[in-house]
Structure 1
Amino acid sequence: MFKKPVASLKSFSPLRSSDKRRLRDEILASFPELKEMESPIPDTPVNAVITPEGLQSAKFTSYIEESGTMYTDAEGTPLWIKISNSKKESLIVPSLYIIWKFPTLIPGLTTWNPVVDKLKNGADLMIPGVVTANTEIPDIEEGCLVVIRARGNRYPLAIGTMAVSGKIIASSRGIVPPKGKAVHILHVHEDQLWIMGNKQNLPSDWASGPKPVLGDEYESTDDEDGDATDNDVRELADSLGTSVVLDVKGKGCTELDDASVTEACERTESTIEAPAHIEAEPAVVLSTAEVDQALSEALLQVLKFKITEANSKELLPMNASTLYSSYVLPNRSRGRAAEADIKKSSWKKLAKWLKAVEKQDLVKCKEIKGELFLLGVSWNHPQLKGFAGHKTVEMEAVRQAKVDARAQADQQANSPNSKVLEVMEAYRPNGSSASLFENTNRSKDGYYTLQELRALLAEYFKEKNLADPKNQRIIKLDEPLREALLKKGENVDRIPRDQTSERLVGNMVLHHFVGYKGQSVKFVKGGVKSILITQEIRTGRKTVTKVSGLEHFMIDVDGFAQEIQVLCASSVAITPLVGASPKLNLREVMVQGPQLKNVTAVLQEKGVPKKYVEFLDKTSKKK
């Protein structure tokens, strides 16, 4: 909600005593636990902490068009926000500045440190991103407030509303987590709401578990057994792989490599026991030397084809965990090398490996606040120049996703209960053309397709013998034809045959119908509005493909976005359509990269005729 600065913010004004009391009562009604909590500030009552002296308020509208009221202290640090739209009327939400004073005020979920980075990019928390192993899942209902903590830390880093109940999330413990959102994120550490405040340091007792603050998730510790660490790695891969999401309004996206989704699924599926009647395949065992080589080649693949010199300014610096999970793992070579893991290498730890690579002068790394970052790459390094590349697990995942998507589409199309899209345009007679239909014993209130009108005219010409004997391509006009075909003020007695149907529809009213075959046809005045595919270059010289007008063809925008995300192996976002009436609730899907071919293929599979798909290319250089 606050990934970007608010769209509008009124001037702040001090709260009157009566308004301050009303706000305090509303807060205590929403969070009755505050009455029993100890004040975090000595000699200061809780009421003075939640509604301090100098409290001020201002109306705001977020960049995703959420409206509400913001309450800050005298220095301008946000303390509370009240979301006041119809869906979340009077929802009082504390900022992290308040939550850190009362860290147990709201029930919480635990996630992985790298996932928090994705939340800061505007993503919602997905169910696979919730740590369930050895972690209590609060029993709270859908729509309730919940805070998000990073594993090993006691203070929340985000707050949002539950997209599903806590029971559903808890039920995924020990199995492959279901897809879908867990939490709609409202406010996250270091977002624009946080930046408005005093940016206080993390509390001194931040860490509460064995994990270091924002530490390397892949480094095993002495007090953790091997099985637990393996589970941690698998769950982290799941959470990162499925963290490519749409936000609560479908108006924001996070930049993630979608191939990690398949990698995560492969790793998770490998942990499920096969039924007793199926003989399990022998596990692939790599030697330490093979693991070292596979990881080294995967890193070269990343540096040559993913984190290139052209896009390095956008991607670097990058923390080591993201480099490993979102880039190195998906770019391992297919086959045996796909089983390579840092813990099975000679280095054992991610940081130790990257420092070894740094000694080869291939990369430059630096440790910042206990976390290792990739800062630069030696693009002219002999290893990098001599590396030819290989087919990766990411490529295989994309290929398999396309195959599965097409197979599913074919299965749905052949299903007796499948919905087949039907698009029709028809014309209705108006005052000038009505007499022609009456003379042919047809209803002047009916709807006629272009083919039906051409057949009607041909039948009328033959019945009335109106073709010129010397030239059959010329039609003689009788009185009904004059009224139906001629424009006002036009005075001719013959016209070419090939102009008759065009002239007739020009004197009729165009209507259209878009629905499913077998559905009762109900025509709407006007023509079918086309789907527009726009290809343009966004900030940072990235090409994106935008699709709008899906609603005109009964296409579910959210479902289309998920389908195109899998097919294109790229991140997507859904935003309100600029210039459209808010009442229509039209939305636009944006996918990273030049995806015209893939988008067009999906639209055709859904039954959208080619003539109703328009393409606008804004990437061409102006001459």
Structure 2
Amino acid sequence: MDIKNDSSANQNRTNQESRCGGGAFRVKSNTVLKGSDRRKLKAELSTAFPLLSPEQLSELIPNKEELNVVKVYAHKGDAVTLYVLHKNPLFFELEKRLYPTVYMLWCYPNVLPTFTTWPPVLQKLMGGADLMLPGVVVSSHGLPEVQRGNTCAVTVVSNRAPVAVGTAVISSAEMCSVDMKGRGVSILHTYMDHLWAFGDKSGPPSIPDTDSEGLVANIEKSDEEEELENDVEHEPCPSAAGDQITDPSCPRIEDLSLAEKEDHQGHDEEETNQDKQKSPQELMDALLLQCFLHALKSKVKKADLPLLTSTFLRNHMFSCCPSGKQLDIKKSSYKKLSKFLQTMQQQYKLVQVKELSKGVESIVEVDWKNRELRYLHVPEEADVEEAPVQVERDGEKPYHPPEITTLYSVSARLEPLFLEANKRKGTVLQPSDVRSIITDYVKNNELVDENNKNYVLISPTLCDCLLDKSEYQEVDALKWDDLFSRTLGRMQECYKVEFPGQAPITKKGHIEPIDIAVASRGSNKKVTTIKNLEVYGLDPTDVSVALQRKVQASSVLQPVPGAKDKVLVQIQGNQVQQVGNLLLEHYQIPRKYIQGFEKAPKGGKKKQH
């Protein structure tokens, strides 16, 4: 890249066009980085940025998360390679040299030597200018130690979050010898350029800089500079406990986020009066939001994602409900969890929810930097964890259905296929993990059919593991879906049952559904029986009492022959429809885990016995 010496407006435009992010990109290719290439990239980054720790390198180049290599052509035809993680470019490679983007530096601001300048200068850098030495703010520690050509970052006073990346035009020693005149840093990439726009377009965080934050008050600014700084600078905000990065502005109370309003109201003497004026639905909406934010802030970790929305509700939100209150989505204005999460996604950008499998939604992404979470005060653990168990009518404890997950165990026949991932016989895996391991195996062994990417070539290992003997000479490729279905079909199916606050239980085979049956008891009288309630953590006594109350009929408990610790609930009459509704609506058992609905009476008037 040419180094420009003229700082005129025309030259600024030339600089802007010659930068990596100075003009629109034309994407040439977008591929997922292979395992061997990840190791190579990690070694190159370790050499290029020695201040990155091994842990930080592993976060930037994760083994299992999708890391994309995007090859683009910049405005002037320069070939640029981008390394993209979580939709944000973290590094770019120009002329066989790696540079960090502002997105990466916002996470690790101490990776590069940094020059500080005034906020109005940022506008000029974004317009195409290089950083001139008269605009550099020299702290009490002096200039950073750089040699000519070293990669360096640019920040503005009072904020250590870099806003530009470039290379030093001269060494720091030469900068001092020329009395800080001339060009200091040749800018390659800035906040708000096309490279930044290739990511999620988020703004720079505010990372307090104690060395320079007092300088703003001590300099005499022009009217133009004051107006500009009033747009971009505010009084420093207090950060949430434990947060390293704080929000870049302090809004007025009337502009506060929901979480901040909740925190302010918590200290307001008028809060009690305001709550009295709210309807029960508004109070439940507020409680739902409170439990949602608290669960994201204190319960959910990045490693937990993707997280089933039902698991999030049962295992996290319920446990964050304050003592003396009970969370009930049906009493809120949202009525359904999916509608509430849709609002959190679209209106507040807090989470991203996707349907990873048909009919099953998962939280796939959480914006932990969102101001709703960063300003949230999380109650002490005792406030939520030690809350006494709430008791419903007639002494019945509130029931929360378990989270049931279908799993697969590696069989002896398939063990060779999973050895590359260090998974041996008996290892229990999620279906998504199986797909990921098989996909990595295919790509690492270069088995994708070059002529048709929808097909996978059969290797000797795939042949032994997945093909029948009659197919050995006939099948030389499989479609991706067929490959996955054959793999799962040859694994041992298992299931995991997880109740809120309890250790999960994993068992082999299929989970037994709750069985509703109808039997005759002399003189053409019908009785309805329900069994396998214990599998789902339901107390047969509680179910029996609830049914008596619902249908006004007598019920009894009987031991199940040949089944230890299992009890059968029997109630008079054909009550299949009422039992099903109770299980679906009151206990929230998914319909697929209930069998016997077909035995419900068909239309017509109900017979009286």
Into which bin does the TM-score normalised by the smaller protein fall? 0.3 to 0.5
| TM-score, normalised via structure 1 length | 0.32
Greater relative contact order (Cα < 8 A, sep 6+)? 1
| TM-score, normalised via structure 2 length | 0.32
